[in-house]
Amino acid sequence: MKYLVTGCAGFIGWKVTEFLLEAGHTVVGVDNLNAAYDTQIKRWRLNQLEGTPNFHFHRSDICERDVLRTIFEPVSTRDTPTFDAVINLAARAGVRQSVENPWVYVDTNVTGTLNLLELCREFEVKKFVLASTSSLYGENNPLPFSEEASTDRPLSPYAASKKGAESLCHSYHHLYGIDVTIFRFFTVYGPAGRPDMSAFRFVQWISEGKPVTVYGDGKQSSRDYTYLEDIARGVIAGLKPLEYEVINLGSDSPIVLIDTIRLIEELVGRKAELSHQPFHPADVRATWANIRKAEELLGWRPQVRFRQGITALVEWYQTNREWAKHIQTD
C-alpha cells in the first residue's frame, strides 16, 4: 500500500509512519517542521525515518494547496496508483497557545484539512483519517466521554478548529463518498513526546531540578494518558473501510496529575519543586475515554500500562539527556 502521512515528524505521525514502513508499505511523509514547539525533537524523529526504504519526505505545509497538488500528481498516473489513504496527523495542537494565536489554528486545522479532502476528491483517494482531540468534549459532558456526547461548546480555539475539521470530513463523506475515520486522541505520551505536554515537561523539569508548574493543587485535575504506540496501532487499524466513524482512542484509566508527578519523582530519583498556578480557563479539568467503539469496530485496546509507559519515557530522556535537557518546554 501507499500512504500519505501528514505531520510525519510530529509525535504521532512519526510512530504511525514507522509502523507502516516496518509493515512493508510505502509512505510519503509531509511536514513543515514549524516552530510550534522546539524543532530539535521533530528533527530527531525525522532522523529515525530518513534512509528507510520506501519513505519519501516532503518539507511542505498542508495550508499550501498548490504545493500539495504536486505531491498527489506524480503518483496519480497509469503506472503508479494514487494513495490508498491519506492520514492527516498534521495539526496545530495546544490549548493555551491557541488562545494567544487562534488564526494559525484555523489555517492548519481547518483550511489544511479542507485542502487534503479536496485533493482526495480530485485524485479519487478513497480513505481519509483525521487526528482530532478529546478537547472537543469540553467541561460539561458526563464521564467517561463517549463519541455521542455533545461537542458544541469547545473551550478553546484549538478545540473549535478541530470541530471544524471534523465537520468538513463529514461533508466530504456525504458529498463524495470518501471513507472517513476520525480519531479523538486522549493525552498521548511516550518517548520523544511533545515538550509542551505535561509528561515530557515533568520528566525534564524534575530531572534537571527545575520548578514544576502545576495548575491548581494537582489533585483536582486528571488525564486519560494514552501511550504513543497504542495510539499508532489504533490509527493503522482505522485504515479499514468504516464509511464514516468518530472513534475515541484513550486508556480508559485516568491518572490524577499529582500521581503522575509522584511516579516520575520515583523513577528519576529526585523530588519535584512544585510551583502552583491558577487554572487556565481553556483547560478541561478531567478527561476519560469511553473506548467501547474502538474495541467493537477495530478490536483495539491499549496494551501499555501507565507505569510502563512513563518508565519508557524516562529511559528515553536519560539516554538522550545531553540534548533533550535543552529542549524548550516553556
The tens digit of pLDDT for each residue in 16-25 reads: 999 999 999 9
Of 280, 275, 267, 272, the C-alpha closest to 308 is 267
Question: What is the model's pLDDT at position 80?
Answer: 61
Q: How many residues does the chain have?
A: 330
The pLDDT value given to residue 285: 82
**d(C-alpha 101, C-alpha 119), whole Å:** 27
Domain 2-187+227-252+288-303 has CATH 3.40.50.720: yes
Residue whose C-alpha is closest to residue 98's, from 136, 44, 63 = 136
Strand partners, 223: 255
Q: How far apart are CA 242 and CA 297, in angstroms?
A: 8
Q: How far apart are CA 91 and CA 164, in angstroms?
A: 13
| 172 labelled catalytic | no
The per-residue pLDDT for 93 is 86
pTM for the model stands at 0.95
Q: What is the pLDDT of residue 218?
A: 80
DSSP state of 7: T
pLDDT of residue 111: 98
d(CA 233, CA 216): 34
Residue type, 260: T
Q: Is the CB of residue 110 less than 8 Å from the CB of residue 161?
A: yes
What's phi and psi for 217, nearest 5 deg?
Answer: -95, 0
Indicate the domain borders of the chain.
2-187+227-252+288-303
What is the distance between the alpha carbons of residues 138 and 282, in angstroms, rounded to a whole number?
9
Residue in the structure block whose three cell numbers are 532522523:
47
Residue ranges in the chain whose pLDDT is less than 50: none
- What pLDDT shows up at residue 75? 66
Of 37, 137, 158, 227, the active-site residue reads 158
